[in-house]
Structure 1
Amino acid sequence: MESCKGREGDEVKCVWVHGPIIVGAGPSGLAVAACLSHHGLPYVILERTDCITSLWQHRTYDRLKLHLPKHFCQLPFMPFPHHFPKYPSKNQFISYLHSYASRFNIRPRFNQSVQTAHFDAASQFWVVRTNDFQYISPWLVVATGENAEPVIPSILGIDNFHGPILHTSVYKSGSHYKNKRVLVVGCGNSGMEVSLDLCRHNASPYIVARNTVHVLPREMFGFSTFGIAMALLKWLPVKLVDKLVLVLARLMLGDTARYGVRRPKTGPIELKLITGKTPVLDVGQVAQIRSGNIKVMEGVKEITRNGAKFMDGQEKEFSAIILATGYKSNVPTWLKSRECFTEDGMPKTAFPMSWKGENGLYTVGFTRRGLLGTASDAVKIGEDIADQWMSVKDKSYRNSHMILLKST
């Protein structure tokens, strides 16, 4: 470790990393670290918080479970324990990730919030700056994922509301809202599950379904709907599989449009592949909507001091507002070499090649295909870096001090 000057001219400690720099210690970062270890390669993993998988530990509600069966959600080289249920709970998944980190001896550098990362064309190295260190490596793995920061929408009048307004990232349980009327903005999986949780704690949720959304049974005939779809896709085209899935969904759930939840014209699987928009998996929400315990509203026109005005002319009073408006990538805030990323912080190259960029840049957790996509990309990244390792290692040892001398 040596001292050198950062881009702003201040003195920082420089750390030469003989393997890749991984930014983010969530499931994506852990998966890449394990794959690199599998090939015997060193790395440094940087995490802005004080723990692994901070999103799961601190930004999820209590009743959360994995939406897909566990075998679709396991990380490379380590299945879930046999005694775990088919759909592990939040705490079981966190336990699995801690065991995963322990098994592969993954020790992130915590409280290392990345301020900037750029590719130095002269030296051909990545330079990653945190609060007090500057890390240098031939490879950079962006593992912050597509769900790094909460999305807070701009809604007319929202600053006038007298009650609490919170994003689902800080929502824990409906126990705080017993006998209260709550407005839930957003009808994706989070919005639907929070509404169900509120129902089960004797609250009165009103969910805003401004956009169309597919709602599918989590299981059909005892099998995962996702698993059935994946099996059918091996033999049938996407559009035909979508038609079959929607026929079965209608038989099991009825016509959701009757209750205010309109389906998109594009089928659920095709829509997921094109846009990344995930269908809602029903675990009891539709029954509560059908019974009137969850009330569906078309759209918010304006937030008032005591509630909201809706597009259909109705006006309701609410005790609280919960924003189930999703998350976004934070890549644009720190990655300065963004030729491979869009303005929204997503890879420009489409799946299945989105994992590899230029100049030793890799991305994981951006496939919009959940943990299954994360595991697949992590394996590819480990193999690709392993193939380059010896030639780049020799070059790196020869040139490791060049960038340090240049910076001082």
Structure 2
Amino acid sequence: MTPSSEPVVIVGGGQSGLAAAHAALSSGLRPVVLEAGAAPVGSWPDYYDSLTLFSPARYSALPGMAFNGGDPDRYPTRDDAVAYLRRYAGSLDAEIRTGARVTAVHPRPSGGYLVRTDNGDEIAAAGIVAASGSFGNPYLPVLPGQDTYAGEVRHVAHYRRPEPYVGKRVLVVGAGNSAVQVAYELAPHARVTLATRAPIQFLPQRIRGRDLHHWLRVTGADLLPRAVLTRLVRHAAVLDTGVYRDAITSGQLTRRDMFTAFTADGVIWADGTHEAVDAVLFATGYRPNLDYLAPLSTLDNGMPRHIAGVSTTHRGLVYLGLEFQRSFSSNTLRGVGRDASHVVAALPGGETGGSWRRRPSMKRSPVRR
């Protein structure tokens, strides 16, 4: 049973942290959400300007609140998602502290945890939900010659808009949604090549007039367990209405096998040829952003040891928003709510509701800055 004086601390106030707060309130727990940024919207404001969700609004909501008004079949923009998360945070009767970056989580000899933040706060916690996502930890591979390359090398986490690349020769590395979407946006402004290790795999965005996410839901494929998914999804796949495939077929976008090395002014392609390029954008994914858990010795090369989001090393420690944590949609707006309910049940007091019996309410949240 969780003492009322000791909350469950949720690290991260984005979609995962807010879903965790809703689930904690539903279980009678008292959550305290710690968000490093200035608002409880996670990393959404930092994504590239043209980003749109890959799922329609009707499938993109967190538990307890529909997505912002409008056509439920539209694909919300980055700014739509930010506005939705602000509204969702304001609806929760939970303590949300912004500008509070967690620097360390320590075990306490008596049980539970001590959470330290960069502004000097220390919070005794009965349980921890690590919901800090991965956007703050982009994966940037290092290739031979990269340190001598004079052009621009950056991860797409730091890409915003095409204007800085007008007239330039640009390579985009990656075969997933972000790589193809950014390359397609750049193509009218720059000479762009997609560099991938395998041909790009496409999934149709619409089937028989309905969005793919409709079929994922009605068939139950959205709920396939992680073990099944990792066998089925061996390569990144790009959701496409046909425009991306057509761009490659028509030559508007070029795809080549991944280059093997950098030179001072460009790259060496897999066939041994050299090409001068101005910029290389890596869309090579992210890794969990969990350095603050280092005092617990629970990470294995930066990756958490868990089963379906529940730590296998520490009682009262759970994770939320990990890719393929429990299903295909675990790290998305539309899927994180299911996982939140699952992991919160594993927290101290989560099975019975502990000494807190409140339900989620539509009151304004006391956001602290």
- TM-score bucket (shorter structure): 0.7 to 0.9
Q: Say if 2:302 is the partner of 1:314.
A: no
* C-alpha distance 38-278 of structure 1, shift in aligned 2 (>3 A): farther
Unaligned residue ranges in structure 2 (runs of 5+): 358-369
For the residue of structure 1 that corresponds to 2:151, the secondary structure is coil
After TM superposition, give the deviation of residue 207 of structure 1 in Å: 0.8
For the residue of structure 2 that corresponds to 1:136, the secondary structure is strand
Contact map agreement 1:332 1:345 (CA 8 A) in 2: no
Equivalent in the alignment of 1:359: 315
Equivalent in the alignment of 1:56: 44
CA distance in 2 between counterparts of 1:275 and 1:75 reads 25
Equivalent in the alignment of 2:111: 124
User: Amino acid of the residue matched to residue 282 of structure 1?
Assistant: D
Aligned pairs for 1:94-109 (under 5 A) are 94-109=82-97
After TM superposition, give the deviation of residue 391 of structure 1 in Å: 6.1
User: Amino acid of the residue matched to residue 359 of structure 1?
Assistant: R
What do residues 131-163 of structure 1 show as CA deviations (whole Å, max 9, x unaligned)? 212211111111112444111110111222222
Q: Of 152, 157, 162, which aligns to 2:150?
A: 162
For the residue of structure 1 that corresponds to 2:115, the secondary structure is strand
User: Amino acid of the residue matched to residue 318 of structure 1?
Assistant: V
User: Amino acid of the residue matched to residue 351 of structure 2?
Assistant: D
User: Amino acid of the residue matched to residue 354 of structure 2?
Assistant: M
What do residues 110-133 of structure 1 show as CA deviations (whole Å, max 9, x unaligned)? 23222221222x301211122212
Equivalent in the alignment of 1:78: 65
For the residue of structure 2 that corresponds to 1:300, the secondary structure is coil
* C-alpha distance 134-364 of structure 1, shift in aligned 2 (>3 A): same
TM-score, with structure 2 as normaliser: 0.82
Q: Say if 2:184 is the partner of 1:196.
A: yes
User: Amino acid of the residue matched to residue 340 of structure 2?
Assistant: A
Which protein has the larger Cα radius of gyration, Structure 1 or Structure 2?
1
After TM superposition, give the deviation of residue 392 of structure 1 in Å: 9.6
RMSD, aligned α-carbons: 2.8
* C-alpha distance 203-113 of structure 1, shift in aligned 2 (>3 A): same
Equivalent in the alignment of 1:304: 263
Contact map agreement 1:22 1:141 (CA 8 A) in 2: yes
Equivalent in the alignment of 2:169: 181
Unaligned residue ranges in structure 1 (runs of 5+): 1-15, 239-268, 394-408
After TM superposition, give the deviation of residue 86 of structure 1 in Å: 2.4
User: Amino acid of the residue matched to residue 225 of structure 1?
Assistant: L
Higher helix content, 1 or 2? 1
User: Amino acid of the residue matched to residue 375 of structure 1?
Assistant: G
Question: Aligned residues: percent identity?
Answer: 26
Equivalent in the alignment of 1:262: none
* C-alpha distance 140-360 of structure 1, shift in aligned 2 (>3 A): same
* C-alpha distance 78-338 of structure 1, shift in aligned 2 (>3 A): farther
Equivalent in the alignment of 1:396: none
* C-alpha distance 227-273 of structure 1, shift in aligned 2 (>3 A): farther
After TM superposition, give the deviation of residue 272 of structure 1 in Å: 4.7
Q: Say if 2:301 is the partner of 1:343.
A: yes
CA distance in 2 between counterparts of 1:278 and 1:146 reads 18
CA distance in 2 between counterparts of 1:139 and 1:276 reads 34
For the residue of structure 2 that corresponds to 1:97, the secondary structure is helix
For the residue of structure 1 that corresponds to 2:335, the secondary structure is helix
Contact map agreement 1:347 1:366 (CA 8 A) in 2: no
* C-alpha distance 320-287 of structure 1, shift in aligned 2 (>3 A): same
Aligned pairs for 1:282-293 (under 5 A) are 282-283=240-241, 284-293=243-252
Contact map agreement 1:152 1:167 (CA 8 A) in 2: yes
Q: Say if 2:150 is the partner of 1:141.
A: no
CA distance in 2 between counterparts of 1:186 and 1:276 reads 14
After TM superposition, give the deviation of residue 279 of structure 1 in Å: 2.0
Contact map agreement 1:47 1:109 (CA 8 A) in 2: yes
For the residue of structure 1 that corresponds to 2:194, the secondary structure is strand
What do residues 230-272 of structure 1 show as CA deviations (whole Å, max 9, x unaligned)? 43357xx99xxxxxxxxxxxxxxxxxxxxxxxxxxxxxx9555
Aligned pairs for 1:229-308 (under 5 A) are 229-233=216-220, 271-272=229-230, 278-283=236-241, 284-308=243-267
* C-alpha distance 363-274 of structure 1, shift in aligned 2 (>3 A): farther
Moved more, 163-172 or 361-370: 361-370
For the residue of structure 2 that corresponds to 1:327, the secondary structure is coil
Contact map agreement 1:367 1:374 (CA 8 A) in 2: no
* C-alpha distance 297-374 of structure 1, shift in aligned 2 (>3 A): same
After TM superposition, give the deviation of residue 31 of structure 1 in Å: 1.0
After TM superposition, give the deviation of residue 170 of structure 1 in Å: 1.2
Equivalent in the alignment of 1:252: none
* C-alpha distance 288-313 of structure 1, shift in aligned 2 (>3 A): same
Contact map agreement 1:300 1:308 (CA 8 A) in 2: yes
What do residues 291-313 of structure 1 show as CA deviations (whole Å, max 9, x unaligned)? 11111110111112221110112
Contact map agreement 1:17 1:135 (CA 8 A) in 2: no
After TM superposition, give the deviation of residue 366 of structure 1 in Å: 1.6
User: Amino acid of the residue matched to residue 93 of structure 1?
Assistant: A
TM-score, with structure 1 as normaliser: 0.75
